[in-house]
A and B are shown apart, each in its own frame.
Chain A
Amino acid sequence: MPPPIRLKDHEVDARLIRGRLLFGGLVIITLTMLLMSRMYYLQVVQFEQHSTLAENNRIHIQSLPPTRGTIYDRNGVVIADNRASFSLTLTRERAGDWETVLDSIIELFELDADSRVLFEKRIRQGRRPFEPVPVMFELTEEQIARIAVNQFRLPGVEVAASLVRYYPQKEHFAHSVGYVGRINEEELKKLDPVSYSGTHHIGKTGIERFYENELHGEVGYEEVETNARGRVLRVLKRVEPVSGQDIYLSLDIALQEAAEQALNGRRGAIVALDPDTGDVLAMVSQPSFDPNLFVTGISFKAYGALRDSLDQPLFNRVLRGLYPPGSTIKPMVAIAGLDSGVITPSTRVFDPGFYQLPNNQHRYRNWNRYGDGWVDLDLALSRSNDTYFYDLAHKLGIDRLHDYMERFGFGQRVSLDMFEETAGLMPSRDWKRNRYRQPWYPGETLILGIGQGYMQATPLQLAQATALMASKGKWIRPHLARSIGGLQPVDDNTPPDIVLRDHQAWDSVQLGMEHVLHGARGTARKVGDAAQYRIAGKSGTAQVVAIKQGERYDRNKIQERHRDHALFVAYAPAAKPKIAVAVMVENGESGSGVAAPVAKQVLDAWLLDKDGQLKSQYRSADNVLPAGDKR
């Protein structure tokens, strides 16, 4: 017999639903009773307790801001510290009519209307009820005394001691360590309101910004009993804040100062790296500014002056300055040529003073208009021969050139912990199609071979590429922090090392770079002659304004600020590199004439002892250079 077909039985369904619904009704009544008894508990049983808390606001929770971590240079010299400072705070709820109190403050210190606007903005930013908001910072003894005398007409006003950031080295590290500033409204929205409840400052740039979490520490709090006027009577409970972690930088203050002196007042940028460790030893962007100005709030006028200065002191040239790298990338182009097999060290090219693509009239000029004759790789590097590299770039093609340059870090952010760094630009076919909707033209590859055209690099990228030349392709991302709270920074995203098919290619190019300074026809041989040790380097020039076809660079016709930037990259000692530098002198014109001596001064400061001799730890048989020796 087949099973009976079940018909839809509305009566059964309705009964089922009715049962369930009535059960739901019982649960609803039970839960409502639960809510009511909870309210009874709060409003009748605990009434006393809650009403004292609410009526008197007797008990306050005060947050205790943590002490921000100290920043040291690699030798333990303090770069960023906290010092006690007195500020005037206003508690809105205790001031009564706080705008009147504000007027009294303005009158008392004879301040202008601008300050009042600023103060009012700060007070309106106050977050929690009964939280004192700092209004004026860095009070002098006299100001504190005036407040004390006039306390009777300043309800809600107190003088609070707090720790504020101080940068004893002033402008030396403004572009690397950065500075802290008052938390603005935008940041306030993003911050964890709990851990910043007692903190008024936050890292704005540089290391202060990048390691904000580590430097900041953990907030503590105390429960205090206060009287009706808000005076603290006793502390009921206290949880100590945890100070932020200290950071030791890889920067060396002596080298930093030496590098700044080497620039001798000119505008420019210098980066010095340790190619073995990735430590940034010096990072100079000149002119600079005093970061202390920003800590307690810079005045509109002072900020305007900094911002509008023609010298752009606020501009971080090392990390944000984008320059065509010029001839400084020729060593890397040479590596690309050798490794992809389009040239060998002995490949020769005839240089009549220019290069022409087949079936094209355009002449791509060598910097030496008379030509260098037959040129091999070594001569091409030491003479910085453009024709050779036009030819090499043409043989490589844009795709291979782009790939190799990318492996050297161009067109990407290379640093581990530098907040402001920009990626620069390493053009490719895809990039040009997306950017201009145009195909790639062969001529553009040629000028890319000598570091001109679309390509843009930061001084940091140049230094890193040079460090890679020195370490034969070993990638370590440059970093400013050596240890954070005693721990080394971890880099879990190191780019892959550059491994060449033939390791000898490194030696050929390195030798060429040595001959820039120590070869008979080297472009920077004058600098090399004076050196106590062998240096490998490369000069370069970054055009500021384009020179038309057939026109010559005439310095007299060009305004000072439109003159070329001088570039020089170097590492030393050549056999066992301990330091790699990149130098950019703004409008310095000559890489070998202006930037190379600066680079040598930086190398000297790191490698020589006070007697002018190579430091013993860097000395080895193949490093020392007998006076007058030239190959």
Chain B
Amino acid sequence: MTRGFDRALAEGDVLRRRASFLQRIHIDGWLLFLLLLLGAVGLFVLYSAGGKNQVLLVKQASSFGVGLLVMVVVAQFEPRFMASWSALMYLVGVALLVAVDVMGHNAMGATRWINIPGVVRFQPAELMKIFVPMTLAWYLARHNLPPTFKRIVISGLLIVVPFVLIARQPDLGTGLLVLVSGVFVLFLGGLRWRWILGAIAAVAPIAVGMWMFVMHQYQKQRVLTFLNPESDPLGSGWNIIQSKAAIGSGGVYGKGWLLGTQSHLDFLPESHTDFIIAVLGEEFGLVGICLLLLVYLLLIARAMVITLQAQTVFGKLLAGSITLTFFIYVFVNVGMVSGLLPVVGVPLPFISYGGTSLVTLLSGFGILMAIHTHRKWIAQS
């Protein structure tokens, strides 16, 4: 009896120590578990989507490792420390964007990279995905919410400047994500509903005006293709037709791992990057996709809990914006591949091949962990 009792105690002791280790290095166990799960699923799908290419797999796995490392490092920072440096980081980020604009290196026909050979090579636009919401959260948290009109205008400028610079590169997809991450801070900060509705109402006439006076023929063509992919079966419509066929032919349970015909016969373009969910849909069916979406929802739910438990307004705004933006990634990518949204280059978080987006996403979660684990407790009598 006593022996068994001792053992039970000892086990509980081990568990407590493990938890305290994670706490000590400022890591949130729930988030870590879900992120590792997604990473594993991603590698699993990528093996099939990349045509059993092991080099690709090793590259992606090491990017994930690097991302986790960055996440752990970011989690060590005090949120107050982040807030105090955010304005400077924002300015540096904008300066880098301007530098890219002026003399950036030309990669893939678009200028997006800062490249110091042998030292570092990165896209300043990726940095702005973090710095824009951070700066706005800092700015809005300094005063009472909801923000006054003047503060909203200044916030708008803080969002629009990097957006325009990124969109000019041209990288409209990333630009819109930066825009959205900033707008979410404003939304959480209590931007008045009539403003939000007004902005939505203004979009329609602006869109019509753009269509009639601003847009080029090829841009109109892209929109028309989105509305009716069959009208351009040789061009961009091809991607959508093929990805829909891949997903649709998967049925409820899918064709099985490594057995997707669409992707393995090269019908599916970009199958290991932006269109990877089509591979998942083909091989694992409706069940696979719903399970993946569920994991995403769990991750988002945990992030929301962190947001609600955050102690400072800055922490709440930043964590909330990161959470909502993360969902936008998922929604835009899945919506695009399944033909709900036009084709914009947004990768599926943690599943699509590509190191840059992994590192950016994981550092975002590092911030969430920092906000959660650096909370201060005041002894209450």
Contacts and interface: CB of A to CB of B under 8 A. Distances in A.
Contacts of A35: 293, 331, 334-335, 338, 340
B249 interface: yes
Given A39-B290, A44-B286, A54-B245, A194 B251 contact: no
A21 B248 contact: no
A53 interface: yes
Contacts of A490: none
Interface stretch (B82-90, B124-132, B262-270): B262-270
A307 interface: no
Interface residues of A, number: 46
B49 to A, nearest CB: 16
A20 B187 contact: yes
Contacts of A17: 145, 188-190, 307, 313, 316-317, 320
Interface string A7-50: 01110111011101100110011011011101110111011011
Contacts of A54: 245-246, 248-249, 261-262, 267, 282
**SS of B interface (majority):** helix
A240 B219 CA distance: 24
Nearest to B247: A42
B143 interface: yes
Contacts of B338: 35, 38-39, 42
Given A43-B285, A194-B232, A194-B234, A16 B145 contact: yes
Interface string A426-446: 000000000000000000000
Nearest to A54: B249
B144 A129 contact: no
A27 to B, nearest CB: 9
A223 B335 CA distance: 27
A506 to B, nearest CB: 47
A49 B281 CA distance: 16
Given A35-B338, A54-B261, A43 B248 contact: yes
B233 A61 contact: yes
Contacts of A20: 187-190, 320
Most B-side CB within 10 Å, residue of A39, A61, A221:
A39
A63 interface: yes
Contacts of B290: 36, 39
A91 to B, nearest CB: 12
A373 interface: no
Most A-side CB within 10 Å, residue of B143, B293, B296, B316:
B316
Contact of A39 (B233, B286, B320): B286
B94 interface: no
A50 B244 contact: yes
13 contacts: A8-B143, A10-B313, A20-B187, A21-B320, A24-B323, A25-B304, A31-B327, A35-B340, A36-B290, A50-B245, A51-B251, A53-B249, A54-B262
Interface of B: 143-146, 184, 187-190, 232-235, 238, 244-252, 261-262, 265-267, 281-282, 285-286, 289-290, 293, 296-297, 300, 304, 307-308, 313, 316-317, 320, 323-324, 327, 331, 334-335, 338, 340
A-B pairs with lowest CB-CB distance, top 8: A50-B248, A54-B249, A194-B235, A51-B249, A42-B248, A43-B286, A54-B245, A53-B245
